[in-house]
Amino acid sequence: MKPDLSTVLAQLAEKLGTSVEHLWPILVARERVAALLTIIFLGFMFVLGLLGWGFWTRSVRQREAKGVPVGDAWFGIVGAAIWLVVILIAMCCNTINYLFPEISALKTILTMLK
């Protein structure tokens, strides 16, 4: 049988020398900050992917204009587009964690119960 969530929160608060009423808002704030930092990092990765996609596309178009065969260069453009979509999906998922940090904090506590 798994311990109750309030029992785990009380034990954690006792170990940290605080009360549950003080600990829960701190856990929620921590999850919001973690989600925000992840969104910022993913935004940076999205911008890098967008720059790479733009430079690669421009390079392929310049080589095509000069009559130089580009071969399979379009695979890089498609790969960068897939990268951008994956990063965008990850940003959306972390935006949910930012908007509802209570759920994320609850998931963190529940993983401690396992």
pLDDT digits (tens, 9 = 90+) for 29-62: 988 999 999 999 999 999 988 898 888 888 888 8
- Listed by start position, the domains of the chain span 5-113
Measuring CA to CA, which residue among 45, 24, 11 is closest to residue 104? 24
User: Is pLDDT at 21 greater than 70 in this prediction?
Assistant: yes
What pLDDT, on the 0 to 100 scale, is given for residue 2?
Answer: 55
**5-113 belongs to which CATH class?**
mainly alpha
CA atoms within 13 A on the CB side of 25: 4
Backbone angles phi, psi at 68, to 5 degrees: -80, 130
Residue with more model confidence, 50 or 12:
50
- Measure the CA–CA gap between 93 and 96, rounded to whole angstroms: 5
Prediction pTM value: 0.73
What is the helix, strand, coil percentage profile of the chain, to 5? 85, 0, 15
pLDDT digits (tens, 9 = 90+) for 101-113: 888 888 888 777 6
For residues 3-22, give the mean pLDDT.
81
Q: Which of 23-32, 71-80, 91-100 shows the lowest mean pLDDT across its residues? A: 71-80
